[in-house]
């Protein structure tokens, strides 16, 4: 019997609209667990007239009775977390009853931001396009075994010793390499010791909590951050994030074993976007790209940065589905394409005169791709708010079926607008989800 769990993740470079999808699906699950990334990832959820922008906190907390769990694979900025908690409290969300933090999650401290910002802005350095929120340096410290975990932050003596030693090292490095002014360890300790007391009641052994939910017949959704092509191992390295954004990260990032992963749901836009630097084979460089950006409101939920827009890339989507073992596909922002007479889709690559559908591992190979397109007919009528597949224009139905045939995963949902109710759930997918209900 399949475990009553599902991983929901981004199929491309993030910003696929995972927040809305997790929110729509969360009513079927006992808990939603975030397994990677930090507050560099923003999920926007629109419920009626209210708009929620979540960065660290799993979308599940917006559903009464659904637990939200920040797993051990996440790097936690305590100040950003408390700010987000306060905003949700003001909006009437029961965060204090529903929200939990892994005691094994790593902590982001001010020197992580100092190092990242200085490195990103240093002359002659290759720009990655980070958010400069300290995510990468926090993961670096984790892998060097010199990081601070949440459980350690709750020990005032250990916290003080760690901050003093880390500041001595990081201040010296930042000043020597970048001429950065030093941070005050005493001030940092006071601020983070106070924050530790405020987060104490959220902290738990999240692996024990989640496995206990499954043992009692409950169900869990694992919420991914960023997207597959930003994964530290499988993405467009080095233009990637510093964590495991793919489905494998759900096990390592929560303490729930891989045999307890029931299914994987990959979320993709009806087109593709990317924020920041890095290769993007199907990027649109003309006015159509600007039109998609305007119609899709393609600006980062956290940073406000404009997203680069491109056509759907089928070799990349197949690669993503292969890496993740994706069974289901969710298509978002279908309505953004409503005005187009023709819609190109990349079906293969030409690299150095050779035709292939393989995604190159190296950046040079990715940058030399010449996409090979097929063109489908547009529908030129509104699909916004349609919730039944048969009521879509025939051309829109074919556009979706083409993706299903070519991607290796079945379409389970289609989003035709930003609100919860503007969602189409196909019957087979609904039946599969019903089996996961707690």
Place of tokens 């995510």: 135
Place of tokens 């670096």: 140
Residues with Cβ within 8 Å of residue 96, at least 6 apart in sequence: 89, 201
- Tell me whether strands 342-351 and 354-356 are parallel, antiparallel or unpaired: antiparallel
**DSSP string of 104-138, one letter each residue:** TPEEP-HHHHHHHHHHHHSTTPPP-----SSHHHH
Active-site choice (39, 43, 112, 162): 43
Whether 15 is catalytic: yes
The b/e string for 398-412 (b: 16+ C-beta within 10 A; e otherwise) is ebbebbeebbbbebb
> 90 preceded by cis ω (within 30°)?
no
Residues with Cβ within 8 Å of residue 319, at least 6 apart in sequence: 359
Q: Is residue 275 a contact partner of residue 14, using CB atoms and an 8 Å limit?
A: yes
Q: Please list the alpha-helical segments (H only) found in 179-301.
A: 185-199, 206-215, 248-252, 287-296
Whether 233 is catalytic: no
Residues with Cβ within 8 Å of residue 82, at least 6 apart in sequence: 195, 198, 199
Angle CA 282–286–292, to nearest 5: 75
CA distances from 163 to 107, 172, 245, 417 (A): 11, 14, 29, 46
Residue 427 CB-density burial (10 A; 0-12 exposed, 13-18 middle, 19+ buried): exposed
Query: Which residues are identified as catalytic?
Result: 15, 43
């Amino acid at each position: 019997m399949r475990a009553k769990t599902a991983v929901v993740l981004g199929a491309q470079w993030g910003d696929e609209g995972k927040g809305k999808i997790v929110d729509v699906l969360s009513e079927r699950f006992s808990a939603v667990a975030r397994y990677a990334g930090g507050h560099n990832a923003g999920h926007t959820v629109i419920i009626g007239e209210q708009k929620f922008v979540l960065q660290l906190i799993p979308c599940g907390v917006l559903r009464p009775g659904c637990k939200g769990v920040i797993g051990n694979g996440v790097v936690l900025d305590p100040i950003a977390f408390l700010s987000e908690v306060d905003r949700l409290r003001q909006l009437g969300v029961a965060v204090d009853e529903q929200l939990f933090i892994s005691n094994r999650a790593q902590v982001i401290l001010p020197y992580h931001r100092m190092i990242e910002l200085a490195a990103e802005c240093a002359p002659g350095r290759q720009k990655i396009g980070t958010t400069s929120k300290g995510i990468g340096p926090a993961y670096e410290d984790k892998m060097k075994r010199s990081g601070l975990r949440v459980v350690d932050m709750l020990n005032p003596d250990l916290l003080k010793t760690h901050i003093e030693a880390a500041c001595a090292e990081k201040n010296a490095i930042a000043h020597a390499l970048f001429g950065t002014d030093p941070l005050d360890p005493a001030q940092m300790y006071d601020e983070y010791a106070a924050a530790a007391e405020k987060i104490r009641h959220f902290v738990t052994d999240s692996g024990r909590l989640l496995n206990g939910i499954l043992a009692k017949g409950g169900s869990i959704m694992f919420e991914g951050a960023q997207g597959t092509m930003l994964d530290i191992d499988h993405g467009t390295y080095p233009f990637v994030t510093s964590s495991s954004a793919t489905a494998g990260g759900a096990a390592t990032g929560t303490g729930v074993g891989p045999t307890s992963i029931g299914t994987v749901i990959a979320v993709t836009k009806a087109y593709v976007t990317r924020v920041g630097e890095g290769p993007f084979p199907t990027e649109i460089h003309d006015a159509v790209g600007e039109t998609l950006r305007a119609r899709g409101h393609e600006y980062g939920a956290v940073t406000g940065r404009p997203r680069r827009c491109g056509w759907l890339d089928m070799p990349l989507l197949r690669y993503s589905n292969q890496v993740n073992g994706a069974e289901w596909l969710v298509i978002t922002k279908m309505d953004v394409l409503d005005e187009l007479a023709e819609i190109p889709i990349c079906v293969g690559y030409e690299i150095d005169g050779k035709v292939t559908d393989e995604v190159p591992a190296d950046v040079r190979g990715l940058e030399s791709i010449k996409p090979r397109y097929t063109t489908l007919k547009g529908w030129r009528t509104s699909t916004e708010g349609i919730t039944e597949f048969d009521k879509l224009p025939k051309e829109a139905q074919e556009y979706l079926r083409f993706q299903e045939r070519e991607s290796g995963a079945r379409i389970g949902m289609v989003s035709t607008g930003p609100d919860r109710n503007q969602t189409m759930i196909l019957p087979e997918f609904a039946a599969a989800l019903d089996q996961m209900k707690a």
